[in-house]
Amino acid sequence: MFLHSQGNAVPHHCQTKSESAISRFLNHYNWSTRSLIRTVRSFILNLVLSERIKGRKLILQVILDLTTLEKVGKFVHLKELVRVYNHKKGLHIVVLYLVIGNWRFPWSFRVYRGKGTSSPSQLALKLLNTLPSILTKSFPIYVLGDTAFGTIKFIEKLRDSSFNHHGILGIPNTRKLTDGRKVSELKTRGQQVYLNGLNFPVFLSWVWLKRDGKRVKRFVISTKPMKGKTIVRWGKRRWQIEGFFKTAKHQFSLHRFGQKTLLGVYRWLILSLVSYLLAYWIYLHNGYFDDLDWYDSAEKALVLLLPQILLLSLIKKLKLLNPWFYKHGLELCLVRCKM
């Protein structure tokens, strides 16, 4: 259903199982979602560790962002998890996304539950804690995020000995320095500054973005000493996660859940992300590193990994064509051969 990559993976579109069967599978059947997550993460970990090479180490990019899975209508069963935030109604999730070499994949996510609960930056810290120690010891880690994650506590935690990550984070132009100036008043890229509330220096630069036909100046800080142009280059890489969000929603139906239980919604999100991973791994397995066609990769994943499902779908389509065959004096017979 997800690997058809049409962005409309809803149960009544499924060609091999009934809508009620899919509902029971997602909401009631006793299968371990955690075991699925552990299995996929173990495979991801082996892939990432295979990128270790002699000489200069590859940098593991840990990208954090919040996205909204927009919904309309009432969702009483989700216990107010569907809410309005930043003028958008839906389920708001903070996602941790990893990029290293040719590999890129979602690692984990947390649901933002609104005012009075853990903020996006606090949820991001919890997500960073889910990274296994073998990753943090094997690669230098750059944490990339927008202004939502440029808080004092978040920056301080990145400098903590238990994390020891470098952060390249966005900050608002109204952010003040210890001398009372705003960052918008600075004129030199890459200079060392002390933000109000921090007792250690960071390094500031900015990037120009196009928004509604206008150029907008966005400020970026680095906890690691870098030149201004280097900070800009790494700061722009944060936008890689936006492409992932677009693909996960419009190709693998991340936002099309409609289950009546929290478990059903959770399983829907997990299976959507797993489908994204399968399609991407097939793309890399085939040795292509440009012109990624998600529809083509998803179809190949379906053929290579789940041929029995594809066969059931084809048989059902052929049965629907039986009246047309009879009308034209043709007869279609399917024979099972023992191999």
Could you please report the per-residue DSSP string of 43-77? HHHHHHHTT--SSSPPPEEEEEEEEEEE--S--GG
Query: Can you give the pLDDT at residue 246?
Result: 93
Token couple for 135: 């990753």
Q: Which residue in the block uniquely carries the two structure tokens 């936002």?
A: 255
Q: What is the DSSP letter of 176?
A: B
Are the CB atoms for 208 and 215 separated by under 8 Å?
yes
CA-closest candidate to residue 299, choices 278, 317, 284, 318: 278
Residues of the chain below pLDDT 50: none
How large is the angle between the packed helices 262-285 and 294-305, nearest 10 degrees? 100
Query: Can you give the pLDDT at residue 162?
Result: 67
Neighbours of 306 (CB within 10 A): 14
Query: Can you give the pLDDT at residue 143?
Result: 95
Question: Measured between alpha carbons, how far is 197 from 202 in angstroms, rounded to an integer?
Answer: 12
Count of alpha carbons within 13 Å of 96, Cβ hemisphere only?
Answer: 21
Token couple for 281: 């791994």
Query: Can you give the pLDDT at residue 176?
Result: 93
Residue 64 CA, chain-centre distance (Å), reads 9
**In Å, what is the CA distance from 104 to each residue of 97, 132, 283?**
7, 17, 12
